[in-house]
Structure 1
Amino acid sequence: MKKSTIFLLILLIINSINAQVKYESFESTKLKETRELKIQLPRSYSYNDDKSYPIFIVLDGDYLFEAVAGNVDYYAYWEEMPEAIVVGVNQLDKRYDDCMYSEQNSLPIDTGAAFYEFIGLELIPYIEKTYRTANFKVAIGHDETANFINYFLLKPQPLFQAYVVISPELAPDMLNYIPQRLKEIESKTFYYLAHTAKDRPAVTVMTKALHKEISALKNENILYSYNSFDNPSHYAVPTYALPKALEHIFYAYQPISKKEYLEVILKLESSPVAYLQEKYQNITDVYRIEKPILVNDFNAISAAIEKNQSFEYYEDLAKMAGQEYPKTILSHYYLGRFYEETGKPKKAMHIYQSAYSLSEIGGITQELLLEKADLIKTDFGY
């Protein structure tokens, strides 16, 4: 593993210490044994509020949990994804038994079937009952467990909304099952597939074959991404794949980027305010969580209004800002700009002056509004 990759992994693990990590022993009826769990709760998790969080179920938790937990905490800190509950399932010497499948149809049997039921009928209900969870679940696996998480995709109502499949040791019939299921699936589903050139030849061949099949699908409900890495070993590839997977799954959650601003928002022929509303409604629809509109995203829409001189949209932006940040001067600034540019300077002046008791936000200060009010007063002699 490259030194830079080791450093990044250490940084992510150290960063995750700020989150709340718990270790639990879970008595499973399905497995007829106790299984060790690692659970990372978000930094902001409190038992006294009603905020809900997506769930990550991480197989091979004995070595994969820390990498996932660190990445999730890091990306959530920078608001590139929502905070989430990460659950690692330790498998150790149980891995072969947990992933057992039939040679006749490639589906779980015996101890593999028991592990399948443990995840779906015991573990996830327990997490949902114990913690405040959103109905958005991500499954992550590596080689044998990367094959196993696909069994939950085959259900009539898939258990997970996102699958991170890293260097999978695919059962033979999965090359037929997975593309056929993805072809028919009727709900939005994220599917991330990755491998490395240093995987065993059989893994590489099967993964490339699966990629070819999925790439040919026309189902708009499938949100698919694929990476083929050259340098990492089979055991190091998760540290390369996980950031790519999170960026793929949560691209719609991310703040407005420079690229999005330049290539999409500035070129809109319709309302940029409506675009902002739709962006955040999509976050609610896809991830089943409510995300407050970021001040930086308000600033991006405001900048587009100024750039395109489409000042009529400021009125709607002011209403939205008033709903999101009612105790700040944000809505007053936007409403003042609306009246300034639509021929009502006196009204704009009063709006600016009336914001004196509200809080500053996002670089918009009391001084700025008073300056704008004074300029209007001077220009028009009010």
Structure 2
Amino acid sequence: MMIKKSVTLIFILFYFCGFSQKVIDKDIESEILETTRNLKIYLPKGYEKDSLKNYPLSIVFNSEFLFDAYVGNSVLFAAKDKAPKQIVVGITMDKTQKKDTYFDIESGNLTEDNIAFYEFVRDEVIFYVESNYRTSPFITLVGTGTSAKIISHFLKEPKPFINSYICINPTFSDYVGNQFQSFNLPKFKKEDNTFYLYINNATSFSLKKQARIGELQKGLATIEMKNFNIINDTIQTSSSVSAISEAIPRALTKVFEIYSAISKEEFDKNVKDLSPNDAIAYLENKYIEIQFLFGSDLGIRERDIYAVEKIVLEKENGDKLREFGKMIQKIYPTSPLGDYYIGKYYETGKKYSKALKYYKISYGKMDPADPNADAFYENILRLGGR
């Protein structure tokens, strides 16, 4: 286990060396806080080159110690194709009076300073970043301790606009259950969007804190909404610091799960028992949602095409091959596979001239150096003599 953690840290440090020069320090005047606050803004590699691409936005509280860890993980996840590249903004907290997030622990209520900081994030920080940088609609808030408590209050917004709420090692009051009830979480069901709430417990916490978070997680576990994903996590560790280092990648894995290629778990849970039509629709909707949420025009990963291919070929005598091909053409027009499957559909129906037409189009989209090019050309040779 120690070796695994060390390797992860080495990867993160390696990627950190690569992103350090891309962090912009920006001081903004806040009318709400009546002072100047520093923002650290990380722009992902390639941001300057592609003027049309948008990126999901992550806002990290406690930037003095959480920003680097989150950016390092975000770069690593993007490099492994497990998450989109992100714009990450770190907010420097009030270091002297700790008034930004230190709430009334007795009542659990936010102080006037807490409310001002909340409004600063909502009305000034997000507005500034969205006005000056190319962000997609997907917004994540990340915080730890009392900052996680402030983040949870964004759940009460009448019109939800935050997509993921990552509450690491959260500090709550004894009244946290009542406060979450007041947030009216069922309202999220009405939204045509996707949401994530991550809350971790840890064996390093005091027994009282473990019990408080455990009761909240127990209550949250009873909530069932298709578009509101609750991630109740428990980290086995003897240190709250190591809990933070583990929580970030665990949260990212779940929050950006839809972005990743179809895993065996996802296939077994959501795909394998579908009809061809439903499997095609599932794949199409997955990539449409990736495009909408994250601003990432991926086309369709070939491994995901092949994951659904077996269902389309084996069920209903392959009658849905044409629909499968058209879906690929629509979302991934440069791929030869869309035309290939349409050609295969026509060949199965013994309409050889139409099949040959689509096989030729398919081959024409391929790089001659592609090791699969010869196999695609054999389709043309096979039907060309008919």
Alpha-carbon distance in 1 for matches of 2:65, 2:233: 21
Alpha-carbon distance in 2 for matches of 1:16, 1:312: 50
1:339 alignment partner in structure 2 = 346
SS at match of 1:338: helix
Contact preservation (8 Å) 1:55, 1:84:
yes
In the superposition, the TM-score normalised over structure 2's length comes to 0.87
Alpha-carbon distance in 1 for matches of 2:272, 2:236: 37
Contact preservation (8 Å) 2:62, 2:92:
yes
2:13 alignment partner in structure 1 = 13
Matched, 1:312 2:314: no
Give 2:283's match in structure 1, choosing from 276, 285, 290.
276
Contact preservation (8 Å) 2:141, 2:166:
yes
Alpha-carbon distance in 2 for matches of 1:255, 1:106: 41
Contact preservation (8 Å) 1:319, 1:331:
yes
Seen in structure 2, the aligned counterparts of structure 1 residues 216 and 335 have a Cα distance that, compared at 3 Å, is closer
**What's the offset of the Cα at 1:265?**
3.1
Seen in structure 2, the aligned counterparts of structure 1 residues 324 and 209 have a Cα distance that, compared at 3 Å, is closer
Contact preservation (8 Å) 2:163, 2:195:
yes
Alpha-carbon distance in 1 for matches of 2:360, 2:294: 40
AA aligned opposite 1:251: E
Displaced runs of 4 or more, over 6 A: 361-364
Contact preservation (8 Å) 2:136, 2:293:
no
* 1:57-92 alpha-carbon deviations (Å, 9 max, x no partner): 111111111111111122122222222111111226
1:297 alignment partner in structure 2 = 304
Seen in structure 2, the aligned counterparts of structure 1 residues 341 and 17 have a Cα distance that, compared at 3 Å, is farther
**What's the offset of the Cα at 1:374?**
2.3
The answer for unaligned runs of 5 or more in structure 2 is none
2:196 alignment partner in structure 1 = 190
**What's the offset of the Cα at 1:316?**
1.8
AA aligned opposite 1:77: A
AA aligned opposite 1:50: L
Q: Identify the range of structure 1 (257-266 vs 126-135) with the bigger mean alpha-carbon deviation.
A: 257-266
User: Equivalent pairs: percent with the same residue?
Assistant: 26
Matched, 1:259 2:289: no
Seen in structure 2, the aligned counterparts of structure 1 residues 346 and 218 have a Cα distance that, compared at 3 Å, is closer
Paired residue total: 379
* 1:41-71 alpha-carbon deviations (Å, 9 max, x no partner): 1223137522222111111111111111111
Alpha-carbon distance in 2 for matches of 1:204, 1:211: 10
Q: Identify the range of structure 1 (68-77 vs 88-97) with the bigger mean alpha-carbon deviation.
A: 88-97
SS at match of 1:38: strand
AA aligned opposite 1:40: Y
AA aligned opposite 1:234: S
Q: Identify the range of structure 1 (179-188 vs 189-198) with the bigger mean alpha-carbon deviation.
A: 179-188
1:107 alignment partner in structure 2 = 109
In the superposition, the TM-score normalised over structure 1's length comes to 0.88
Matching of residues 1-382 of structure 1 within 5 Å: 2=2, 4-19=4-19, 20-46=22-48, 49-91=51-93, 93-94=95-96, 96-102=98-104, 105-186=107-188, 187=191, 188-262=194-268, 264-271=270-277, 272-284=279-291, 291-308=298-315, 310-360=317-367, 365-377=372-384, 382=386
AA aligned opposite 1:211: Q
Alpha-carbon distance in 1 for matches of 2:346, 2:273: 24
Alpha-carbon distance in 1 for matches of 2:317, 2:80: 31
Alpha-carbon distance in 2 for matches of 1:134, 1:17: 26
Alpha-carbon distance in 1 for matches of 2:146, 2:97: 8
